[in-house]
Amino acid sequence: MVAKHKPARRERTRGKIPKLIIVTGGVLSGLGKGVTTASIGNILKARGFRVNTQKFDQYLNVDAGTLNPGEHGEVFVTDDGAETDLDLGHYERFLDQSLTKDCSVMTGQIYLEVTQAEREGKYLGKTVQMIPHVTDAVKRRMWAAARRSHAEIHLVEVGGTVGDYEGAHFLEAVRQLAADDGKENVLYVHVAFLPYLAASDEIKTKPAQNSVRDLRAIGIQPDVIIARADHPISKSQLEKLSLYANVDVASVIPVPTVGSMYEVPLHMEAHGLDRIIAQKLGLGFRPRNDRIWHRLVATIKRRKPPVRIAMVGKYLNMKDTYMSLIEALKAAAWAHGRSLDLWWVDAEQIESGKFPVEELQHAAGIAVPGGFGVRGTEGKIRAIRFAREKKIPYLGLCFGMQLMVIETARHLARLPHATSEEFAPAEKKRDPVIHLMGEQKKTLLKGGTMRLGAWPCALKEKSLARKLYGERRISERHRHRYEFNNAYRAKLERAGLAVSGTTPDGQLVEIVERPDHPFFLGVQFHPEFQSRPTRPHPLFLGFLKAAISSRKTASRGR
Ligand code: GLN
C-alpha cells in the first residue's frame, strides 16, 4: 500500500490539483451540515469555480445499501451505482451536477481495504495501525475523488460531530492535509449549533466554543465558522464566538433556520462567504452568476395555490426516507406555480380499514414510492386501484410500479393470485408477475446485489412517457432486486397496461402506463434522483400538471 496520495507541488502550481474545503460539525448532529456543504459548493459554482463534493461517513457499513431507510433516511443512488448517504442528493441538487461513487466514503470501505491489504501481505510485516494506515487510506480516497473530478475546489464533509469516537480517523486524516499540502490550500469550515435558552431568552455560544476547542485540541484551527441557530444571532454573540474560536468576525457566518433549505446559499452570499473563501484560498476574483438560484428562491417564497399529492407509503415517521422524492415533487409543483401540499397516507391504515381508501378522492394525485417487503402492500394496491378507477393521476416509483403491475394482473387480467416473489416464494397457485431473474436467484448476499445505477431505456413512440421526456432514449437510476416478469407481458398488455419503456434490447420492462387514463404511469427506476430544483424532472412535471388539471386542489378541509 504505497500508492502516493500527496500531490506534487508542481501539479499544484499548474492548477491541476484542487484546493480543499473541509467541513466539520459540532455540538449536535442534524444541524444541516449536508445542506451547508452543498450550499458552499453552490455559491462557489456560482462564482464560476468547478466544484466537487465528497462525504465521509462514520458507519462501519461498506455503503448505505444495507441501512434501514426507516432509521437512516434515503439511500441515494449515483449514476455509477453507488448506494450512498442522502447528503449526496443535497450535493447533486445544489450543484446541479451528477456525482460518482468516489464521492461517498464509509468507514467500512476503508477498513475493508486495509484489512484486505493486510491479508495480502501488503504491509510487509509492519503492524497495521490507525495512523498512518487507516488515515492514509482515507487520504488516498480523498485525492482519488478530487483528481478524477477535475474540480478546482474539492469539498469534504466529515460526517458526525467533533469528539465522536467513531470519527477520529477522518478528523486525523483531514488534519494532516494542511501539513501535507500547505495551509494555503486547505480551508476548514466548522458548523456549530447555537442553542436558544428560553429561560433567559438568549442564544448561547458556549457549546459552539467548546466544539471549536475540541477541534483545536486535535490540531484543526477553523478558518470559517457557520453558526447555526433557530433564532436570530446578535452581533455581540458573533463577536464572542469569533474571539473564543480565534476566527475573524467576518468569517463567523450566522445561518439561522430558514423557510426553505434552498435559501441557504443566498444567505451565505449575503454575508460574503463566497468572497471570503476565494480570498482565503488565494483564488482569483470571478464574477457571480446566481440568477437561476435567485429566481428559484423567489418562486419558493411567493404565495402559491397548493396542489395536494397523497403519498401512500410506509416509513412515515422518517420523512427523510423520501428526501429526493419530496424534493422532486416540490420542484415540479413550483415550476407550475403551485406549492406542494404533501399528504402522507399510511398504507397499513388503508389495509386495516382505519383509513377508508375513498378518502383519497381528496387528492389531486397519488404516488406510491419505492419500498421493500410485504408490510403495507395490500393498502398500496388498494390505493392504486382507487386511482385507476377514479381516474386520479397516479405515479408509481419502483415498488410503486411493481404494485401497479400486480393490481392490473389481479383486477383486470384475471390473475387473482398475482404477486411478487418478494412476498411469496414462487408456488404453483400464485402468479409471480414480479420476479427475480434467473441469475439473481443464486445470490444470497444482501449488500450491493441489486440492479443499481444508470441504465438506458428506450421509449415507445406515441406513449405518454415518450411525450413527457421528448426523447427516444433516456437514462435513469435503479435500485431494486425484482423485475417485471415477461411471461405475463402479453396478458398484462391485453389488460390495458402498455409497456412504454424497456431496456434497449427490449428485455427488461422499465415503464408501464395506461392509455385510457389521464395519468397512470409506473417506472421501475427512481427518476427523483435526477430531478433538480432548477431543472425539475419531466415525469414529475407531467404528473403535477395532470394533478393540477384534475382540479382537486382545494385545501384539505378536514
Ligand atoms: N422491493 C422492490 C425490489 O427490490 C422495489 C425496490 C424499490 O422500490 N427500490 O425490486
What is the percentage of the chain residues whose pLDDT exceeds 70? Answer: 92
> Ligand 1 within 6 A of 479 CB?
yes
Residue 67 has pLDDT above 70, yes or no: yes
Whether 68 and 190 map to the same domain: the answer is: yes
Amino acid, res. 49: F
Residue having the nearest C-alpha atom to atom 8 of ligand 1: 370
Report which of residues 70 and 528 the model is more confident about: 528
| Cα–Cα distance measured from residue 399 to residue 480, given in angstroms and rounded to the nearest whole number | 8
- Angle between helix 291-301 and 323-335 (nearest 10): 90
* Domain encompassing residue 50: 19-109+145-295
Instruction: Compute CA distances 303 → 43, 224, 333, 539, whole Å.
Output: 26, 35, 12, 24
Mean pLDDT along residues 313-320: 75
Q: Where are the beta strands (DSSP E) in 347-430?
A: 365-368, 394-397, 418-420
Of the candidate ranges 496-500, 528-532, 552-556, the one whose mean pLDDT is the lowest: 552-556
| pLDDT at res. 266 | 95
Whether 359 and 390 map to the same domain: the answer is: yes
Strand 83-84 with 76-77, pairing: antiparallel
Q: How confident is the model at residue 554 (pLDDT cuts 50, 70, 90)?
A: very low
One-character DSSP codes across 66-105:
GS-HHHH---EE-TT--EE-THHHHHHHHHTS---GGGEE
Residue 318 has pLDDT above 80, yes or no: no
Residue 101 has pLDDT above 60, yes or no: yes
Whether 326 and 250 map to the same domain: the answer is: no
Report which of residues 218 and 320 the model is more confident about: 218
Distance 401 CA to ligand 1 centre (A): 9
| Cα–Cα distance measured from residue 360 to residue 383, given in angstroms and rounded to the nearest whole number | 8
Residue 316 has pLDDT above 80, yes or no: no
| pLDDT at res. 7 | 58
What is the tens place of the pLDDT at every residue in 402-461?
999 999 999 999 999 999 999 877 666 689 999 997 655 555 455 556 899 999 999 999
Average pLDDT, the chain: 90
| pLDDT at res. 100 | 94
What is the tens place of the pLDDT at every residue in 175-184?
999 988 888 9
| Cα–Cα distance measured from residue 532 to residue 276, given in angstroms and rounded to the nearest whole number | 27
Distance 186 CA to ligand 1 centre (A): 41
> Ligand 1 within 6 A of 315 CB?
no
Whether 325 and 262 map to the same domain: the answer is: no
Residue 553 has pLDDT above 60, yes or no: no
Mean pLDDT along residues 231-260: 93
Instruction: Compute CA distances 157 → 161, 190, 206, 343, 409, whole Å.
Output: 11, 10, 23, 33, 47
**Of 529, 165, 176, the residue nearest 370 (C-alpha):** 529
Residue 3 has pLDDT above 60, yes or no: no
Mean pLDDT along residues 132-139: 93
One-character DSSP codes across 103-129:
GEEEHHHHHHHHHHHHHTTTTTTPPP-
Q: How confident is the model at residue 64 (pLDDT cuts 50, 70, 90)?
A: confident
> Ligand 1 within 6 A of 398 CB?
yes
Strand 252-256 with 306-313, pairing: unpaired
Distance 404 CA to ligand 1 centre (A): 13
Of the candidate ranges 164-168, 243-247, 385-389, 548-552, the one whose mean pLDDT is the lowest: 548-552
Please report the sign of the dihedral spanned by the C-alpha atoms of residue 153, residue 159, residue 163, residue 166.
Answer: negative
Q: How confident is the model at residue 327 (pLDDT cuts 50, 70, 90)?
A: very high
Whether 381 and 420 map to the same domain: the answer is: yes
Mean pLDDT along residues 25-37: 85
Please report the sign of the dihedral spanned by the C-alpha atoms of residue 478, residue 382, residue 498, residue 459.
Answer: negative
Tell me if 31 is assigned to some domain: yes
Q: Which of 238, 262, 295 is the last residue of a domain?
A: 295
Tell me if 140 is assigned to some domain: no
> Ligand 1 within 6 A of 334 CB?
no
Tell me if 455 is assigned to some domain: no
Q: How confident is the model at residue 467 (pLDDT cuts 50, 70, 90)?
A: very high
> Ligand 1 within 6 A of 370 CB?
yes
Q: How confident is the model at residue 12 (pLDDT cuts 50, 70, 90)?
A: low
> Ligand 1 within 6 A of 422 CB?
yes
Whether 358 and 261 map to the same domain: the answer is: no
Mean pLDDT along residues 489-504: 97
pTM of the model: 0.92
Q: Residue 130 gets which letter from DSSP?
A: I
Q: How confident is the model at residue 2 (pLDDT cuts 50, 70, 90)?
A: very low
Cβ count within 10 A of residue 426: 12
| pLDDT at res. 59 | 85
| pLDDT at res. 37 | 96
Whether 265 and 365 map to the same domain: the answer is: no
Q: What is the CATH number of the domain that holds 538?
A: 3.40.50.880
Tell me if 136 is assigned to some domain: no
Q: What residues pair up with 308 in beta bridges, in sequence order?
A: 341
Q: What is the CATH number of the domain that holds 279?
A: 3.40.50.300
Report which of residues 285 and 232 the model is more confident about: 232
Whether 334 and 232 map to the same domain: the answer is: no
Catalytic (active-site) positions? 398, 526, 528
- Residues ≥6 apart with Cβ < 8 Å to 456: 473, 474, 475, 503, 504
**Of 55, 78, 77, 221, the residue nearest 154 (C-alpha):** 55
Tell me if 126 is assigned to some domain: no
Q: Which of 270, 295, 320 is the last residue of a domain?
A: 295
| Cα–Cα distance measured from residue 371 to residue 368, given in angstroms and rounded to the nearest whole number | 9
Whether 351 and 223 map to the same domain: the answer is: no
Residue 557 has pLDDT above 60, yes or no: no
Cβ count within 10 A of residue 476: 23
Q: What residues pair up with 455 in beta bridges, in sequence order?
A: 476
Tell me if 269 is assigned to some domain: yes
Distance 71 CA to ligand 1 centre (A): 17
| pLDDT at res. 426 | 62
| φ/ψ of residue 517, rounded to 5 | -130, 145
| pLDDT at res. 379 | 96
Whether 319 and 384 map to the same domain: the answer is: yes
Mean pLDDT along residues 196-218: 92
What is the tens place of the pLDDT at every residue in 249-269?
999 999 988 889 999 999 999
Could you give the number of structural domains in the chain?
2
Whether 383 and 289 map to the same domain: the answer is: no
Of the candidate ranges 27-36, 157-166, 534-543, the one whose mean pLDDT is the lowest: 27-36
| Cα–Cα distance measured from residue 76 to residue 389, given in angstroms and rounded to the nearest whole number | 33
Of the candidate ranges 179-193, 326-340, 465-479, 539-553, the one whose mean pLDDT is the lowest: 539-553
Q: Which atom of ligand 1 is nearest to the CA of 372?
A: 1
- Residues ≥6 apart with Cβ < 8 Å to 481: 422, 436, 440, 449, 450, 451
Residue 247 has pLDDT above 70, yes or no: yes
| pLDDT at res. 448 | 56
Whether 256 and 361 map to the same domain: the answer is: no
Residue having the nearest C-alpha atom to atom 5 of ligand 1: 399
Q: What residues pair up with 254 in beta bridges, in sequence order?
A: 227
| pLDDT at res. 1 | 42
Q: How confident is the model at residue 69 (pLDDT cuts 50, 70, 90)?
A: low
Of the candidate ranges 196-205, 340-349, 431-440, 460-469, the one whose mean pLDDT is the lowest: 431-440
| pLDDT at res. 5 | 57
Q: Which of 243, 271, 295 is the last residue of a domain?
A: 295
Mean pLDDT along residues 286-302: 94
| φ/ψ of residue 149, rounded to 5 | -80, -15
Tell me if 451 is assigned to some domain: no
| Cα–Cα distance measured from residue 89 to residue 98, given in angstroms and rounded to the nearest whole number | 9
| Consecutive H or E run containing 53 | strand 51-57
Tell me if 5 is assigned to some domain: no
| pLDDT at res. 555 | 44
Distance 450 CA to ligand 1 centre (A): 9
Report which of residues 171 and 10 the model is more confident about: 171
Residue 552 has pLDDT above 90, yes or no: no
